[in-house]
Chain A
Amino acid sequence: MINAYTTNTLTYNSELCTGCKMCSTVCPQAVFAQEKQIARIVNPESCIECGACQRNCPTGAIFVESGVGCAYAMMYAALTGKKEPTCGGEDEPSCCCSSDN
C-alpha cells in the first residue's frame, strides 16, 4: 500500500543552525526538536509543508517547498492553467476557509 505522505520537500542544514528554537516553536507537527543547542529533525514524515519553519528560520537553514495541501485547489489550478494553487481568494476554492483558526 502506497503512503502518499511519507515523502516531502523538507531539508535542513544543521551547520547553519544557531539554536534559536524558532522551528520547533512554530512547527504544528513537532517535526523539530532541540538537542544540544541545535535543532534536529525528529519526525520527518509528519511534515505538512506549511513553511512556517523556513519562514521563521533567521539563518536560512531550512528549506521546504510549501503550499496548500488541498486537492481541490490543485486540480482547480491545473484546470484553469494557474501556476500556483491557492485558496480563499475572491474567485478561488475555499474548502478550508470556514474553520475558525
Chain B
Amino acid sequence: MKPKTNTQQRPTDIPVVTHHITPADRWDHFVAHWGVNRRGRRVKPGLYALGKPTGDSPVLVTANYTLSFDALRSASAGFDCYIMVLDTKGINVWCAAGKETFGTEELVHRIEITALSTIVDHRILILPQLGASGVAAHEVKSRTGFSVEYGPIRAKDLQEYLKTREATPEMRRVRFDLLDRLILIPVELVHFLLPMVIAAIVLYFLGGPQVAAASIVAILAGTVIFPLVLPWIPTPNFSTKGFLLGIVVILPFALALLWDNPETMVWQRAGKALAIALAFPPVTAFLALNFTGSTPITSKSGVECEIHTYIPIMAWMFGGGLVVTVILLILNILGGVL
C-alpha cells in the first residue's frame, strides 16, 4: 500500500515546545477557570517535541485542550519526550474519553497520520489513566502495533512515573480534594451570577431586602459553599446534602422574618418565613445536584436515582413556596382594599 506521504509529518516538521509555563499561560489558565472562552482553548492536534527527544524517548498522549497540554508540558519537566495531541475538540481528557473523542479511533488515526512508527524506535504510548474509558488498549495494539501504558491520573505524579514506569495504587485512585473543588467554584459562580442578580432584584420588590438576600445566599450556598463542604455534609447523596445546606443557610433568614417587623401581623410574618423556607432550600439542593457533573465521583445510575427521587421533592417544595407567596400577595392586596 502506498503511504500517505502528503499527510505525514517528518521529524523536522515536528513543532518543538518547552516545559516552561509562561506568565501569559498562567493568566490564560486563570481566566479559563472563570469560564472565559471555554471552547477556544485548542492546541493543534498532532505530534510535538518536548525538549530534544530521540527515537527512544517516551510518547505521551493528551487532549487538545490547552490546560491539559500545559499540565503535561510542565509535569514532564526534565524529560525529553514526544507529546501526541489528539483532536478532542478542545475538551479535557476525562470528558473527551467519556464521549470517545479521546478514543481508540482518533488515537489510531493520529498514529497513522503522524507516521509515529517512523519517528520512534519503540512501540509504546503513555496515556493518562483517565483516558481509558475512551481507549481500548488491546485494539490499539492489534491495529497499530503500539502498546498502551496507562500513566498516573494526576500530572503531578508523572515525574515519578516516568522514572519508574509504574503507577502506585495511590496514583491510580481518582481524588476530589479541596483544591480540585475550589478551582471549579468560579465557573459555577459565573454560570449562575445573572440569574442570581435577576432573582434578587425581583424578590426585593416582591418581598423586601431580607427575601432578596435569602435568595442570594441560597444560590451562593449551592455554587460556592457546596463544593467546599461537599465531603463533610453527613449524607450520601448530593441532593440531600444540598437540602441540608440550604436549610442551614435559610433558617436564620426565616427566623429573622418571623421575629422582625413586629408592626406587621403574625400571619404575614409567618407566611413570608414559610415561603422562603419552602422555596429556597430546594434551589440550593438543585444546584448541588447539578454539581455532580463537575465531579469524577458520581455514577450514571446514582445520578439517575437522585433525579428520580429528589427532583419531585424539590419541585413540590419550590411550588409550595410559590403558592404561599401568591396567597400572601393576594391577602395583602385584599387587606389593602378592605
- By a beta-carbon cutoff of 8 Å, the part of chain A in contact with chain B is 1-5, 7-9, 22, 25-30, 47-52, 55-56, 58, 65-75, 86-90, 93-101
Do A30 and B293 contact each other (CB < 8 Å), given the known contacts A49-B299, A52-B132? no
Do A100 and B67 contact each other (CB < 8 Å), given the known contacts A25-B150, A52-B133? yes
Do A71 and B303 contact each other (CB < 8 Å), given the known contacts A55-B132, A96-B95, A99-B92? yes
Q: Are B300 and A71 in contact (CB under 8 A)?
A: no
**Given A5-B236, A5-B237; 17 other pairs, CB 8 A cutoff:** A2-B305, A5-B298, A5-B302, A7-B301, A8-B299, A22-B138, A26-B133, A28-B172, A49-B300, A56-B132, A68-B98, A70-B298, A74-B303, A88-B91, A88-B99, A96-B296, A101-B94
Give 1 or 0 for each of B173-192: 1 = CB within 8 Å of chain A CB.
11000001001100100010
Do A72 and B290 contact each other (CB < 8 Å), given the known contacts A2-B237, A101-B92? yes
The list of the 8 closest CB pairs from A to B, nearest first, reads A70-B293, A69-B298, A28-B174, A26-B132, A95-B293, A52-B132, A67-B300, A4-B305
Asked if B117 is an interface residue, CB under 8 A from chain A, the answer is: no
B95: min CB distance to chain A, Å = 5
Q: Of all chain B residues, which has the CB nearest A94?
A: B38
Q: Are B292 and A71 in contact (CB under 8 A)?
A: yes
A64: min CB distance to chain B, Å = 9
B273: min CB distance to chain A, Å = 27
Asked if B17 is an interface residue, CB under 8 A from chain A, the answer is: no
B218: min CB distance to chain A, Å = 18
Q: Of all chain A residues, which has the CB nearest B292?
A: A71
Q: Are A1 and B236 in contact (CB under 8 A)?
A: yes
Give 1 or 0 for each of B90-114: 1 = CB within 8 Å of chain A CB.
0111111111000000000000000
Q: Give every chain B residue within 8 A of A52 (Cβ-Cβ).
A: 97, 129, 132-133
Q: Of all chain B residues, which has the CB nearest A3?
A: B236
Q: Give every chain A residue within 8 A of B137 (Cβ-Cβ).
A: 22, 56
Q: Give every chain B residue within 8 A of A70 (Cβ-Cβ).
A: 292-294, 298, 303
Q: Give every chain A residue within 8 A of B293 (Cβ-Cβ).
A: 68-73, 87, 93, 95-96
Q: Are B183 and A99 in contact (CB under 8 A)?
A: yes
12 pairs from A and B in contact (CB 8 Å cutoff)? A4-B303, A5-B305, A7-B305, A26-B133, A28-B130, A30-B169, A55-B135, A56-B136, A72-B293, A86-B98, A89-B89, A99-B294
Complex CA–CA separation, A70 to B172 (angstroms) = 22
Q: Are B303 and A96 in contact (CB under 8 A)?
A: no
Complex CA–CA separation, A93 to B98 (angstroms) = 14
Complex CA–CA separation, A93 to B35 (angstroms) = 13
Complex CA–CA separation, A22 to B137 (angstroms) = 9
Q: Give every chain B residue within 8 A of A50 (Cβ-Cβ).
A: 97-98, 133
Q: Are B302 and A69 in contact (CB under 8 A)?
A: yes
Q: Give every chain B residue within 8 A of A30 (Cβ-Cβ).
A: 169, 172-173
Q: Give every chain B residue within 8 A of A25 (Cβ-Cβ).
A: 129, 132, 150, 167, 172
- Between A7, A28, A29, A67, the greatest number of chain B beta carbons within 10 A of the residue's beta carbon is seen for A28
Asked if B71 is an interface residue, CB under 8 A from chain A, the answer is: yes
Q: Give every chain B residue within 8 A of A87 (Cβ-Cβ).
A: 95, 98-99, 293
A83: min CB distance to chain B, Å = 14
Q: Of all chain A residues, which has the CB nearest B306?
A: A4
Q: Give every chain A residue within 8 A of B237 (Cβ-Cβ).
A: 2-5
Q: Are A97 and B133 in contact (CB under 8 A)?
A: no
Give 1 or 0 for each of B202-214: 1 = CB within 8 Å of chain A CB.
0000000000000
Q: Are B173 and A68 in contact (CB under 8 A)?
A: no
Do A98 and B303 contact each other (CB < 8 Å), given the known contacts A28-B129, A30-B169? no
Q: Give every chain A residue within 8 A of B187 (Cβ-Cβ).
A: 95, 98
